[in-house]
Amino acid sequence: MYKLILSDLDETLLVNHHVPDFNRNAISRARKKGVKFAVATGRAFNMIPEILEELGTYNQEDEYSICFNGALIVEHKDQNIIYFNGLDYDLCSKLFEYGRSLDVCVLIFTLDCCYIFHADSDEVERKTVQKAPFKVIEDYDMTFLKDDKIAKILFMKRDMDFLMKLKNRMETVFENVSFAFSSNRYIEMNAKEVNKGEGLHWLCHHLGIKESETIAIGDNYNDVSMIKEAGLGCCVRSSRDDVKRISDYVCKHDYGDGAVKEVIEKDTWIIDGNYGSSMEMRMQACDTVFFLDYPVDVCIQGIYDRVGRVRTDMPWVEDEVDKDLIEFVKNYEKEDRPEVLNLLSKYKGKDIHIFHTRKDAKTYLESFK
């Protein structure tokens, strides 16, 4: 059973900078079953409180976010920083100077603010929409950040071919830097060995969870490390081909129509019936139990009503009442029901739903519309 789900934000979990209902509802159902959900993003923590509010985890104990591509891990309660591996000022300064002569917008993220150099109007608008605390710096000078905690530096250009070639050149010059791409516009630079996969590894160790018990979903190159590290690594349908190749599962849906929901609900199954010999085995393996604890007369009437009816769940049409089934139902309350109730008590940690009338079941089903 998976115990932790990690999701990228942009072009994965979010639609128009918000968590859509179909993802939020799927996440809520997973969390009710004891599965933890954490975001793994390149964003700063101070850019995501509204998103965490939508998820219901903001300022909650034992809820976590991986930020700055793994450079920062925060427990949400009181914004408690439990891990930070920032970029050395001298190294950041060298990267900054490298970008001076390039036709790129340069962004430096500290824990508290994003500083934009060679400002691009589209990028300024993007940061405004993302609700990022930012400042546009007119002079190409970062010395005022010497005593600040720097998380990462980015070069922005809406030309991925250019950025990929730039990365190849820079890797020969800067050996102590982790490079990644995101949003089809950024080359992101963190301290060596900082990435989302290492963030996943660190958080798993902190929570006492095995990497094999995790799911990760993303869309771009800065998600590759966590997709590889997770027990089940997934990507959305519109991911680049080389991201798809390293994924265990490629979603049929894109981020805008439910990729995260698809992944959460992927490994689901239903076993129907009162098969006593396998009842406890099924209780052990499942996460949800539905017990239709209807009165005997209702069940017997149901047996009569299905004679001559075509049913989608049965490959045949019954042409007479099954007398053995009638006898089973009459004896069920005394012979079988007590054992079912004992098992429900034994496995009370499961998500158990008991319906005593057809109306109860109908009301439950209608709650999902």
Antiparallel, parallel or unpaired: β 72-75 and 64-67: antiparallel
Does the pLDDT value for residue 148 go beyond 90? yes
Domains of the chain: 4-83+195-264 (3.40.50.1000), 89-191 (3.30.1240.10), 276-366 (no CATH)
Assign 146 a pLDDT band (cuts: 50, 70, 90).
very high
Render 44-105 in DSSP notation, one character per residue. Answer: -GGG-HHHHHHHT-TT-TT-EEEEGGGTEEEETGGGEEEEE----HHHHHHHHHHTTTSSSE
The reported pLDDT for the residue numbered 53 is: 98
Let me know: does 40 contact 212? Beta carbons within 8 Å. Answer: no
Distance between CA atoms of residues 47 and 297, nearest Å: 58
> Given CA atoms 194, 200, 206, 211 in this order, what sign does their dihedral have?
negative
Place of tokens 């922005």: 156
Query: Is 272 a residue whose pLDDT tops 90?
Result: no
**Among the ranges given (35-49, 98-112, 305-319), the one the predictor scored with the smallest mean pLDDT:** 305-319
Q: One-letter amino acid identity for 195?
A: N
What's the confidence (pLDDT) of residue 313?
67
End-to-end CA distance of the chain: 28
Q: What angle do CA 130, 135, 137 make, to 5 degrees?
A: 135
Task: Tell me what pLDDT residue 177 has.
Answer: 98
Q: Are 70 and 151 in contact (CB under 8 A)?
A: no
φ/ψ of residue 73, rounded to 5 = -125, 130
Alpha-carbon span 93 to 122, nearest angstrom: 25
* Residue among 104, 101, 95, 96 at smallest CA distance from 157: 104
Q: Which pairs from 305-309 meet CB under 8 Å and 24+ separation? A: none
Residue with the larger pLDDT of the pair 313 and 187: 187
pLDDT at 279: 86
pLDDT average, residue stretch 297-320:
86
The pLDDT-based confidence of 275 (bands split at 50, 70, 90) is confident
Q: What is the pLDDT of residue 367?
A: 85
Q: pLDDT, tens digit, for every residue of 4-28?
A: 999 999 999 999 999 999 999 999 9
What pLDDT band is residue 268 in, cutting at 50, 70 and 90?
Answer: low
Helix axis angle, 323-335 to 296-305, nearest 10°: 160
Q: Rg (Cα) of the chain, in Å, rounded?
A: 26
**pLDDT tens for each residue of 59-113:** 999 999 999 999 999 999 999 999 999 999 999 999 999 999 899 999 999 999 9
Return the pLDDT at 286: 80
Percent of the chain scoring above 90 in pLDDT: 80
Contact 103, 97 (CB under 8 A): no
What pTM was computed for the model? 0.74
Nearest-CA neighbor of 87 among 66, 72, 100, 106?
72
180, 177, 228, 174: which is closest to 201 by C-alpha? Answer: 228
Mean pLDDT taken over the chain: 93
pLDDT at 229 over 80: yes
> What is the 3 state secondary structure string of 314-345?
CCCCCCCCCHHHHHHHHHHHHHCHHHHHHHHH
pLDDT tops 80 at residue 369 = no
Give the pLDDT band of residue 287 (cuts 50, 70, 90): confident
Task: Note the pLDDT of residue 314.
Answer: 67
